[in-house]
Amino acid sequence: MARSLEDLVAVALTHKWAPLDVVGSYEARVGDAYEALDGGAEELVVLATCNRFEVYAVAPSPGFLVRLEEFLGEHARYARTLRGVEAARHLFRVAAGLESAILGENEILGQVAKAYEEARRRGTVGKYLSLLFHYAIKTGKLVRTKTMISYGSVGAPGAAVHAAEKVLGGFNGRTVLVVGAGEAGTIIARLVRQRAPKARILVANRTLERAVRLAEEVRGEAFPLDDLPRLLPMADAVFVAVTVEKPLLTRGLLELVKRGALVVDISNPPAVEHPVPGHIGYIGLQGLEQVIRETLERRLQEVPKAERIVEEQLGLFVRAWRRRAADEAIASFMEYARRVLEEELEELSGRLRGLGVDGAALEASRMFGESLVKKLYRPLIVYAQSLASNGEARVLDELVEAFRRELEKKLSSRPQRDRPPRRGIKCPPS
């Protein structure tokens, strides 16, 4: 059935409108949501992350929103309902990173794609939501390749790597020492390896087993903390990400760091003793806060460019949706024509055979009938395409329904006979 863009509905519960603990509580309830909303809409996708819980539906039933409200319970008051173009625009902005808690973050694009794939696996998406998510994912990729919306990093580990890379001019061919193999140290080691396939990465950690696991992942070398006196003189960059009560890198250890090397400490409290010797570079959390502020300012400057891309792709999506609606309506018209023509040709064939007409003449009559139908239907097809391009899919639905009723009336009034195999009537080119 042809669907108007107004049949698209999005219900969003996000970090902008609800407490984070409320939103995050739904991240592990995707399966519950699909179960609660089963059969409530023609198409359905559930997107759930730590910062948002969103449901996208096509042609929801009258009770769909009631069921969703019951699923959300007392949290339903935080949810917002969007329809049509506004629902699509919201998803495009989400995929582009414009609605994220951290502007321009990359993870959300993968989460949107994963939500779509999960819906496909469950069999809850069709032509329309497939189209929506195709354009949303495409938009997210375009925004990130054509703007600097994801420039730099606004997390301490990422900002540390970004700042060190700028100071040193890159990590390839250099030795990088990561002190600490926890969450922050792991992010740092991964980012260094992503940026520098030829860097030598040394991982030092209190628990050697953990250092070994991280070193294996990033193609590095693992060491216990006791080896710091011999590791520090090798390093061009030292990243410190540990939890300690007193400085781990004492003045004595810092004297071992080679001249011109850079030490970056993101530990809180600091793990590097002050004052830092003058022969080495140093960046602490305060310095990184400035880097993060500059990064956010740079990203904010890219927002207008990103929003233009969103609107451009939104326009293309709307036109594609309307073309799809027209195609479905036209297919319904042609199916009606095929069924009527089949009935009429069956009756005509019986009469002609009684007159001794051969098979070639019967085939010619069939070809004539198909050609006539195409020509007669041409104005209707043009009209259907015009309705769809103007967003009047509901009028299309009424036309299709009228044809369906007429067909049923016509077929029910005829006696049942053996019918010849179906032959399709192709749509004339638009």
* End-to-end CA gap in the chain: 20
pLDDT tens digits for range 318-353: 989 888 877 776 777 677 777 777 777 777 777 777
Burial of 87 (0-12, 13-18, 19+ CB in 10 A): buried
What is the identity of the amino acid at 171?
A: F
**CB contact set of 313 (below 8 Å; sequence gap of 6+):** 92, 135, 138, 139, 142
378 and 330 Cβ atoms separated by less than 8 Å? no
CA distance 398 to 140: 36
User: Where in the sequence numbering do the catalytic residues fall?
Assistant: 50
Cβ(229)–Cβ(177) below 8 Å: no
- Over the stretch 215-250, which tens digit does the pLDDT of each residue have? 999 999 999 999 999 999 999 999 999 999 899 999
Residue 414 banded pLDDT, cuts 50, 70, 90: low
Strand pairing report for 221-224 and 200-205: parallel
pLDDT at 411 over 60: no
Q: What is the pTM of this model?
A: 0.70
Q: Do 393 and 2 meet the contact criterion of CB atoms below 8 Å apart?
A: yes
Structure tokens at 331: 């297919």
Domains of the chain (ranges; CATH) run: 5-146 (3.30.460.30), 156-283 (3.40.50.720), 321-412 (no CATH)
The answer for residues whose C-beta is within 8 angstroms of residue 146's C-beta and 6 or more apart is 305, 309
Asked if pLDDT for residue 412 goes beyond 70, the answer is: no
